[in-house]
Chains A and B, each alone.
Chain A
Amino acid sequence: MTDSTAQAPGAAALPGDLTESTPARRRFRPKGSVVVMTLYLIFLLLPIYWLINMSLKTNAEILGSFSLYPRDLTLANYAKILTDPSWYMGYVNSLIYVVMNTVISLAVALPAAYAFSRYSFMGDKHLFFWLLTNRMAPPAVFALPFFQLYSSVGLFDTHIAVALAHCLFNVPLAVWILEGFMRGVPKEIDETAYLDGYSFPRFFIRIFTPLIASGIGVAAFFCFMFSWVELLLSRTLTSVDAKPIAATMTRTVSASGLDWGVLAAAGVLTIVPGALVIYFVRNYIAKGFALGRV
């Protein structure tokens, strides 16, 4: 009791405590982290705000005067994109190959991830590492060979070409994420199902798939996202018919004498799909990025 006044410095500022003990702490402690988070979020959102701000201005206003918000609010830039097929087809093309890629990636990754999570077989560890290396392969290395490969088989400028090319990094990613989630499902479930007379395909579809539904959702999200954000391969493998929105944007920058307003509007529209889906997987994002290993 004699030295109960001794107090370790900083011991009162532990995170993760749900207790929030003294009133003094209530006033003081969260303030620091709130300030940090606010500053960080401002840093993240300011450039995005600026893009939105510009997308709502006319070109004359963008170049003529400097303002923090659109004085002369206009939706003309968006109207232009949504009415001009050479613009909006970019979005359609992107969505087509992104969805194709997601479906292909998941379809092949599901059985493979199951095999990796449940069985050991000859060369499994090497195979797993080899898959990982494909996630790490620089697209720049593959751009030219892909171009030649797909040209020679007549797939150049098709959606499926981009979808297949993106499998290079999305399939390994999907296998990794799904394997991580499947490891969390006890093996007894499989064994019980087999004892109950389920065949493998029926067991896999009826019982196993629902159990790892969140994992599939996360894997799908990541395939979607990485295919959506990639530009180098999708631009190299397309010219007209399957041209992605990202490539449309780069072309327009150089051709139309820098139409900043439209460019900004196109940029804002590319953020929308990601922003929409992220809400649904917000609690699993970290697990997905950690390849299912948290």
Chain B
Amino acid sequence: MNKTVNQKAWFLVLPVLILVAFSAVIPLMTVVNYSVQDTFGRNEFFWAGLEWFSDMLDSDRMWDALGRQLIFSGVILAIEIPLGIFVALNMPKSGFWASFCLVLMSLPLLIPWNVVGTIWQIFGRVDIGLLGYTLDKLGITYNYTQDITAAWITVVVMDVWHWTSLVALLAYAGLQSIPDAYYQAAKIDQASRWAVFRYIELPKMAGVLMIAILLRFMDSFMIYTEPFVVTGGGPGNATTFLSIDLVKMAIGQFDLGPAAAFSLMYFLVILLISWVFYTVMVNLDKRDGV
């Protein structure tokens, strides 16, 4: 749609601006403030320059957390995106069963995140959880509070359980928008199932998949509650992701300076990546708009 130029439209945006400024900009300024100051006690601050930033850049703790975070986000994307597409391809196209699947699949998305954690905490316990109990009876050693591998598997499976439906719903919406004529033409052209996927379904899903990847990347990058409830970041620091580490540092240890420097760099990484995604998305929009 070609839009009219109207500078007065700013007035319509003003409420959002004020509200978001209050809930985002002011707190962010506080963070910036802390990141360049040091304190030895109550309300006595002095200038520390970029010391915290260089401290954090030198700290193994942050790099380790970042490394774990990247591995985690990478793993869940590698599982959830293909699995979500696969599920979407197998969903009923219309009618009662389509609605039925949609509603049931949305269920995990609507559960408070700590309850998601609680569900899996219980589910994986060897004494009272179905999963843990079953694995134990099968003779598989499984203890997510002590074994690093088990902890990782639990956290990853939990995230797959929690969010794959989101990818599937988006992919499904993309598939629904493909006119029947494309499938008919493919049949006439005797295209293989793979060719249909590769040349019809995948290109048509590109836009929504981009959004799915963006959302899943961002949300997994700031995951906090679910692994915190299940593993508390352990065993050791094995599942301490960036947010968990940050909260530990800021609220647990009250190391405001390093935490603030950490926050800013954390936020910056997210901004950078979302900018890349956003640019790609806008370009996709433009290209399809032709």
Contact = CB atoms under 8 A, between A and B. Distances in A.
Q: Are A and B in direct contact (Cβ within 8 Å)?
A: yes
Nearest to A94: B112
B34 to A, nearest CB: 8
A158 interface: no
Contacts, number: 320
Most buried by A among B1, B92, B131: B1
**Is chain A's binding surface mostly helix, strand, loop or mixed?**
helix
Contact of A133 (B6, B10, B175, B271): B271
A82 interface: no
Interface residues of B, number: 108
A118 B2 CA distance: 8
B91 A33 contact: yes
Most buried by B among A43, A115, A136, A148: A136
Interface stretch (B48-56, B113-121, B139-147): B113-121
Given A46-B130, A127-B13, A282-B99, A141 B246 contact: yes
Interface of B: 1, 3-10, 12-13, 15-17, 19-20, 22-24, 26-28, 30-31, 86-87, 89-93, 99, 101-115, 118-120, 122-123, 127-131, 133, 161, 165-166, 169-170, 172-175, 177-178, 180, 183-184, 186-187, 190-194, 196, 207-208, 211, 215, 218, 221-222, 224-225, 229, 242-244, 246-247, 250-251, 256, 259, 263, 266-267, 270-271, 274-275, 278, 285
28 contacts: A9-B193, A10-B193, A10-B194, A11-B187, A18-B180, A37-B90, A47-B131, A51-B123, A63-B127, A112-B13, A114-B12, A120-B6, A121-B10, A137-B222, A137-B267, A138-B224, A140-B246, A144-B256, A145-B30, A149-B27, A164-B23, A229-B111, A231-B114, A267-B115, A270-B111, A278-B107, A285-B106, A290-B170
Interface of A: 7-11, 13-18, 32-33, 36-37, 40-41, 43-48, 50-51, 54, 62-63, 66, 68, 104, 107-109, 111-112, 114-122, 124, 127, 129, 131-146, 148-149, 164-165, 167-168, 171-172, 175, 183, 187, 225, 228-232, 236, 245-246, 249-250, 253, 260, 263-264, 267, 270-271, 274-275, 278-279, 282-283, 285-287, 289-291, 293-294
